[in-house]
Amino acid sequence: MAWIVLVVSGLLETAWAVALDRSAGFTRPVPSLVFVVTLVLSMLGLAYALREIPVGTGYAIWVGIGASGTALVGMLALNEPASLPRIACLALVLAGVVGLKVFH
């Protein structure tokens, strides 16, 4: 269960990062509210998962999912560049996340 919660928390990290961008410095109420809610849920999930998963592994996986997810959303939905080198780097991050899980 801890691993599922960790993955969901990483996805919520993506949500709060995108909401933070869309909040325009907390001047837009809906994205600001989405940011606060998803940030709290993401942190609570990370804290829950770290009861069973070592902090180094759990935090690295959480960050990897969040960073990769945020970059993917940026490329797919926010018109950020989607060059081959950027995609290759994301694949390396995801390979690291999978490796951390496999060698846990």
Q: How many domains does the chain have?
A: 1
Question: Based on the number of CB atoms within 10 Å of its own CB, is 64 exposed (0-12), middle (13-18) or buried (19 or more)?
Answer: buried
CA atoms within a 13 Å half-sphere pointing along the CA-CB vector of 11: 6
Tell me what pLDDT residue 97 has: 86
User: Does the structure show a pLDDT above 80 at 104?
Assistant: no
* Residue 28, helix vs strand vs coil: coil
90 contacts 35 by C-beta, under 8 angstroms: no
Tell me what pLDDT residue 20 has: 97
Task: List the structure tokens of 52.
Answer: 């069973």
pLDDT tens, position by position, 60-75: 999 999 999 999 999 9
**pTM attached to this predicted model:** 0.88
The domain in which residue 93 lies consists of: 2-102
What is the pLDDT confidence band of residue 103, given thresholds at 50, 70 and 90?
confident
Tell me what pLDDT residue 102 has: 86
19 contacts 25 by C-beta, under 8 angstroms: no
